[in-house]
Chain A
């Protein structure tokens, strides 16, 4: 009985670990059993190699973390369904290895280790026998520690990054979050926790057998995580109930009808797995209260200068494209485009649909590699820099469509921008340990977030639910997030889409305010009234080439520009 309870608690550890990748990272990971196997067989082999038990468990966890990081990097670029496929294949790969190499796995009997285990400390001169009760205490404490650690991390910057990873990875990249590495890191943590769980189970039962870490276990653990819904602490606990209930239920069912019990467990797992997608909706709704209502941090007194220093005004060209050629596949989009955006200047990029405005913006932001020409940031060549590096250099872009982070208040969304652009090495670890530097950093980040909110006139909506914001405020929020990265150059892709007249006036005011602060703004926009009202300089693109460039007045009068916009007609004759 106690053995069973301890076993379930060890499995709960694996579930909590898996929740990091699945619930928080948003990746459907189907290979937790494989990482459990690394811990299980790792502990036995490492002990046989002469390591003491505790060291063997931790070494196993480190090995699993390494394997997890590699698998994480391999899957980080894939779509959800393909992640499921490749992790499922990995689960079977590890299982196939275990079955094919009895030297590793001990064959179908598994590897036996002496049980109960004894821990001997020479320093204190004591020996502890790991009875099932001790296991129960150990597993229980690890569970509580994990729950507390995850809760703490989720409230801090890590929670912001996780929300962005699962809801809007492209947005996260544009704000400077290294998505691939964050995903791989979550994967590594998941794997390490699984290895601890696997090691614990092996020591508890005294055996590591391939059939105990089969892909079926991976599926069961996945179900256990899913059933609790996304990113909620009690979810995995609910899931564990499912896991703990299935085997005895299968046994009694099988006993009643006279069928093999392991298979009945599999059938029950399959039924729960089918039920989960149907149950998710109601569970989410049940738990779906607006999560941010509880805490409303007060706005700090005075804005700081620590982060704001980056936007300090500097005369001259901040970002420039010289003879930029961009092709997507075989299609040539931009040919020889020259652009200069100066500090404190709003530079509008206009042109008909399909003229390459958004492509130019993406190339400048590092999201597309140009095929020719150069991109300079303050005379430094950054043509080959990726998006993340461009954000670090102070160049941030927004998207044409509204990308939402439904679960985060505007204040937290803006904070994501601050943390994305000024990351702290090992922030998660330091946050867990409660280091003072982290507290200072977050206080400064908070001030920076409020600065961005005030600049974009969103301060009074800081704690509203995102979906209750108006269309205009949602667009402004995109700008606010980009401002919060401390950008010296903002690349805005149609920020006025869906805005009402008064909202456009607000946007114009915000843009002017940002420019006066010294920010260089490249504005892609279809609303010519807004453009002529706010821009200092206009470049007109047509079919991937610069058609004309100059002040708003000269552009309004330029016949070539009028022809592109109004068709090839003579306006004076059009009235006749």
Chain B
């Protein structure tokens, strides 16, 4: 792999990784507050995108250029749909199985929320699949990031090019990611969430609105997932079923970043994006391994990662 190709892979990997990072941030945030593994999280990304597309463009979308109203409408809708789906999944499929206020998932009916999350994801995929019958769709880019320069590409030293879009994705994604992370550290709501993540019972006893905070966390996570979908989907053809692997990759990213740390999730996303991009660009492995390797990483980190004990992924020995 020449230096130019490597630089290209690195930059597009960062763009991809930014999107993974945003999804992983939401996953981590939700996990931190509730210890719930959000099985439907990846489906929120695709669900948000396709709900927006269905409303704005109908059931046979083409990647045509949109006018301003449609662009803004699509962008807002996708993010709002992600947030709404996330809140819906939480209220219908997860909260009924958590025991009361101030309890984390390890106490409740584990099988209940696991099945609930899996079912919610499946339902999102299959219901959308009833309407969107093709294997994959090209989704237009409402942010029009690719059209900032006339050619849509930038020349890199080494003779290769990188899409302007990738840089735009990186810029917007990182800006939002860092903003959300800062807000979680600096605002009162963020501090209250930290309290809930450390000891939900004590937080509830102190009068913090634990249920509302958890709901807010799910909404924020869903909005981040929607934004990630907005950034991610125009670069590739997207199918209704792509959500699961996207979600699992985000979980891998969150684990790489030390699950439960929102900042770490963003960093883990970037790392995973770069890894995947290099796999795709490599002449030995190639794009066939783009899904296989991240899933294998997830399995290995989950089983052997050192955080397992601390993060309550492992069984207590007692």
Chain A residues with CB under 8 Å of chain B are: 28, 30, 74-75, 77-82, 84-86, 88-90, 92-93, 96-97, 100-101, 169-170, 173, 215-216, 219, 226, 259-260, 263-264, 266-267, 269-271, 273-274, 276-277, 280, 367, 399
Cα distance A385–B113 when bound, in Å? 38
Contacts of B39 in A (CB 8 A): 84-85, 88
Contacts of A93 in B (CB 8 A): 292, 295-296, 299
B126 at the A interface (CB under 8 A): yes
Interface positions of B from 234 to 292, Cβ below 8 Å from A: 244-245, 248, 251, 288-289, 291-292
Cα distance A274–B115 when bound, in Å? 6
**Does A82 contact B129, Cβ atoms closer than 8 Å?**
no
B114 at the A interface (CB under 8 A): yes
> Contacts A93-B296, A100-B289: A264 and B118 contacting too (C-beta < 8 A)?
no
Interface positions of B from 88 to 126, Cβ below 8 Å from A: 93, 97, 105-106, 109-116, 118-120, 122-123, 125-126
Of B116, B120, B318, the residue contacting A399 (CB under 8 A) is B318
**Does A81 contact B315, Cβ atoms closer than 8 Å?**
no
**Does B122 contact A101, Cβ atoms closer than 8 Å?**
no
**Does A277 contact B292, Cβ atoms closer than 8 Å?**
no
Contacts of A399 in B (CB 8 A): 318
B175 at the A interface (CB under 8 A): no
**Does A89 contact B288, Cβ atoms closer than 8 Å?**
no
Selected interface stretch from B61-69, B141-149, B151-159, B306-314:
B306-314
Q: Which of B133, B298, B316 has the most CB of A within 10 A?
A: B298
Cα distance A93–B120 when bound, in Å? 21
Cα distance A399–B317 when bound, in Å? 12
B186 at the A interface (CB under 8 A): no
> Contacts A77-B308, A100-B289, A274-B93: A92 and B245 contacting too (C-beta < 8 A)?
yes
Contacts of B216 in A (CB 8 A): none
> Contacts A80-B110, A93-B296: A169 and B288 contacting too (C-beta < 8 A)?
no
A-B contact count (CB 8 A): 140
Of A74, A89, A219, A271, the residue contacting B118 (CB under 8 A) is A219
Q: Give the Cβ gap from B157 to chain A, nearest Cβ, in Å.
A: 33
Cα distance A254–B318 when bound, in Å? 50
**Does A263 contact B126, Cβ atoms closer than 8 Å?**
yes
Q: Which of A79, A80, A264, A269 has the most CB of B within 10 A?
A: A79
**Does B315 contact A89, Cβ atoms closer than 8 Å?**
no
> Contacts A77-B308, A93-B299, A277-B97: A267 and B292 contacting too (C-beta < 8 A)?
no
**Does A274 contact B289, Cβ atoms closer than 8 Å?**
no
Q: Give the Cβ gap from B282 to chain A, nearest Cβ, in Å.
A: 14
Contacts of B115 in A (CB 8 A): 226, 273-274, 276-277
**Does B130 contact A89, Cβ atoms closer than 8 Å?**
no
Q: Give the Cβ gap from A535 to chain B, nearest Cβ, in Å.
A: 25
Cα distance A74–B120 when bound, in Å? 27
Q: Give the Cβ gap from B28 to chain A, nearest Cβ, in Å.
A: 14
**Does B308 contact A263, Cβ atoms closer than 8 Å?**
no
Please give 6 more A-B residue pairs, beta carbons under 8 A apart, in addition to A80-B110, A89-B295.
A77-B308, A79-B313, A88-B39, A96-B292, A100-B291, A267-B130
B37 at the A interface (CB under 8 A): yes
Chain B residues with CB under 8 Å of chain A are: 36-37, 39, 93, 97, 105-106, 109-116, 118-120, 122-123, 125-127, 129-130, 133, 244-245, 248, 251, 288-289, 291-292, 295-296, 298-300, 302-304, 308, 312-318
**Does A78 contact B315, Cβ atoms closer than 8 Å?**
yes
Cα distance A77–B300 when bound, in Å? 13
Cα distance A80–B304 when bound, in Å? 16
Cα distance A97–B110 when bound, in Å? 30
Q: Give the Cβ gap from A400 to chain B, nearest Cβ, in Å.
A: 9
> Contacts A77-B314, A79-B313, A266-B122: A260 and B37 contacting too (C-beta < 8 A)?
no
Contacts of B302 in A (CB 8 A): 74, 78, 82, 85-86, 89
Q: Give the Cβ gap from A246 to chain B, nearest Cβ, in Å.
A: 12
Q: Give the Cβ gap from B44 to chain A, nearest Cβ, in Å.
A: 15
**Does B109 contact A277, Cβ atoms closer than 8 Å?**
yes
Contacts of B304 in A (CB 8 A): 74
Contacts of B288 in A (CB 8 A): 100-101
- A interface, over-half SS: helix
Q: Give the Cβ gap from A363 to chain B, nearest Cβ, in Å.
A: 13
List 21 A-B residue pairs with CB atoms under 8 Å apart, sorted by A's residue number.
A74-B304, A77-B303, A77-B308, A81-B110, A81-B114, A82-B302, A82-B313, A85-B37, A86-B299, A86-B303, A92-B295, A93-B295, A96-B295, A100-B289, A101-B288, A170-B316, A219-B122, A226-B111, A263-B130, A271-B119, A273-B118
Q: Give the Cβ gap from A459 to chain B, nearest Cβ, in Å.
A: 30
Cα distance A81–B129 when bound, in Å? 27
Contacts of A271 in B (CB 8 A): 119, 123
Cβ-closest chain A residue relative to B313: A82
> Contacts A93-B299, A219-B122: A277 and B289 contacting too (C-beta < 8 A)?
no
Cα distance A101–B97 when bound, in Å? 40
**Does B122 contact A259, Cβ atoms closer than 8 Å?**
no
> Contacts A88-B39, A215-B244, A219-B122: A28 and B114 contacting too (C-beta < 8 A)?
yes
Cβ-closest chain B residue relative to A85: B37
Cβ-closest chain B residue relative to A367: B317
Cα distance A85–B109 when bound, in Å? 16
> Contacts A79-B313, A169-B315, A276-B115: A92 and B244 contacting too (C-beta < 8 A)?
yes
Cα distance A271–B122 when bound, in Å? 9
Contacts of B113 in A (CB 8 A): 81
* Chain A to chain B: the 6 pairs with minimum beta-carbon distance, closest first: A266-B126, A273-B119, A74-B303, A277-B112, A270-B122, A100-B288
Cα distance A170–B316 when bound, in Å? 8
Cα distance A266–B240 when bound, in Å? 13
Q: Give the Cβ gap from B105 to chain A, nearest Cβ, in Å.
A: 7
Cβ-closest chain A residue relative to B135: A108
**Does A81 contact B105, Cβ atoms closer than 8 Å?**
yes
Contacts of B118 in A (CB 8 A): 30, 84, 88, 219, 273
Contacts of B315 in A (CB 8 A): 77-79, 169
**Does A78 contact B314, Cβ atoms closer than 8 Å?**
yes
Contacts of A259 in B (CB 8 A): 130
Cα distance A100–B129 when bound, in Å? 22
Cα distance A159–B188 when bound, in Å? 53
Cα distance A86–B314 when bound, in Å? 12
Q: Give the Cβ gap from B285 to chain A, nearest Cβ, in Å.
A: 11
Cα distance A78–B259 when bound, in Å? 15
Contacts of A81 in B (CB 8 A): 36-37, 105, 110, 113-114
Cα distance A136–B58 when bound, in Å? 47
Q: Give the Cβ gap from A403 to chain B, nearest Cβ, in Å.
A: 9
Cβ-closest chain B residue relative to A174: B318
Q: Give the Cβ gap from B109 to chain A, nearest Cβ, in Å.
A: 7
Contacts of A216 in B (CB 8 A): 122
Of A267, A276, A277, A280, the residue contacting B123 (CB under 8 A) is A267
Cα distance A156–B133 when bound, in Å? 52
Q: Give the Cβ gap from B209 to chain A, nearest Cβ, in Å.
A: 26
Q: Give the Cβ gap from B134 to chain A, nearest Cβ, in Å.
A: 11
Q: Give the Cβ gap from A89 to chain B, nearest Cβ, in Å.
A: 5
Of A89, A266, A273, A276, the residue contacting B129 (CB under 8 A) is A266
Cα distance A280–B114 when bound, in Å? 14
Of B125, B245, B317, the residue contacting A170 (CB under 8 A) is B317
Contacts of B110 in A (CB 8 A): 79-81
Cα distance A269–B299 when bound, in Å? 26
Contacts of B119 in A (CB 8 A): 270-271, 273-274
Contacts of B106 in A (CB 8 A): 79
Cα distance A101–B287 when bound, in Å? 11
**Does B251 contact A85, Cβ atoms closer than 8 Å?**
yes
Q: Give the Cβ gap from A402 to chain B, nearest Cβ, in Å.
A: 13
